[in-house]
């Protein structure tokens, strides 16, 4: 069974913009998939549907469960979304409190939430930063802590929107190495083709709210002259 299966997804913003116009998509266990395409082509709008932050027409199933009002909370625990700007996800006084926030609010005890947070910080190599304020971290460190906050919820799928934004080349390489080590299936919205090539099994090219092409990354780059 696919981890994610999307059929006929459509979405129109309140200003009338048709952002998605019949998107089909399947993600299997262990895959890492890149979503390519120009700004405004629907990539971010699409991934915001995968855990119910946006709701359009069509059908989305995650782990065989159809996404809807009654299942959105359970689906959000399966699909972890890492936003483009890590600062939008980091808001607690310390790194440890930030990473523990999700588990604590999902019903774990304070001790259990702290254990989850420490485990997640160890996974991303930030276990020594638990006492620090997030604003004291570098951009690369903030990204790792944001990922730790998602990993603390133990998702099956990671969705990362432009994960290399604000990162210098060494930090980009370190992030790619980290993501390669994580067992979750991954969806990357990215314009960074080198980063995508280091991680992705296949790619989709979005154009005007549709999937205009799907397959091997190099083939799509050549087909759409996307460099």
pLDDT tens digits for 194-210?
999 999 989 999 999 99
Residue 39 forms part of a structural domain:
yes
Strand-pairing partners, residue 159, are 81, 187
Return the ∠ at Cα 105 (arms to 124 and 54), rounded to 5°: 85
Residue 80 forms part of a structural domain:
yes
Residue ranges making up the domain that contains 19:
4-89+157-223
pLDDT over 90 at 226, yes or no: no
Residue 23's domain is classified under what CATH number? Answer: 3.40.50.300
Specify the pTM.
0.94
CA distance 112 to 177: 28
Digit-coded pLDDT (tens) for 167-192 = 999 999 999 999 999 999 999 999 99
Task: Write phi, then psi, for 128 (nearest 5 degrees).
Answer: -80, -5
Digit-coded pLDDT (tens) for 139-173 = 999 999 999 999 999 999 999 999 999 999 999 99
Residue 215 forms part of a structural domain:
yes
CA distance 101 to 114: 9
pLDDT for res 28: 96
How many domains does the chain divide into?
1
Q: What is the four-CA torsion angle of 68, 1, 213, 86, rounded to 10 degrees? A: 60
In the structure encoding, which two tokens stand for residue 11, read together?
A: 């979405």
């Amino acid at each position: 069974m696919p981890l994610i299966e999307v059929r006929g997804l459509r979405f129109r913003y309140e200003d009338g913009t048709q952002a998605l116009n019949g998107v089909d998509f399947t993600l299997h266990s262990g895959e890492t998939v890149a979503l390519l395409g120009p700004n405004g082509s629907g990539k971010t709008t699409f991934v915001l549907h995968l855990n119910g932050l946006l709701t359009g027409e069509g059908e989305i199933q995650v782990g065989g469960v159809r996404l809807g009002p009654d299942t959105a909370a359970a689906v959000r625990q399966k699909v972890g979304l890492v936003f483009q700007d890590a600062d939008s996800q980091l808001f607690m006084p310390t790194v440890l409190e930030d990473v523990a926030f999700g588990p604590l609010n999902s019903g774990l005890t304070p001790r259990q939430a702290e254990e989850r947070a420490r485990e997640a910080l160890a996974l991303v190599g930030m276990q020594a930063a638990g006492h620090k304020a997030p604003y004291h971290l570098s951009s690369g460190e903030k990204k790792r802590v944001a990922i730790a906050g998602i990993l603390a919820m133990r998702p099956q799928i990671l969705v990362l929107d432009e994960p290399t934004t604000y990162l210098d080349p060494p930090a980009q390489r370190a992030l790619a190495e980290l993501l390669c080590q994580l067992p979750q299936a991954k969806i990357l919205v990215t314009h960074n083709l080198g980063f995508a090539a280091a991680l992705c099994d296949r790619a989709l090219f979005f154009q005007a709210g549709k999937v205009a092409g799907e397959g091997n990354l190099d083939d799509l780059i050549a087909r759409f002259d996307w460099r």
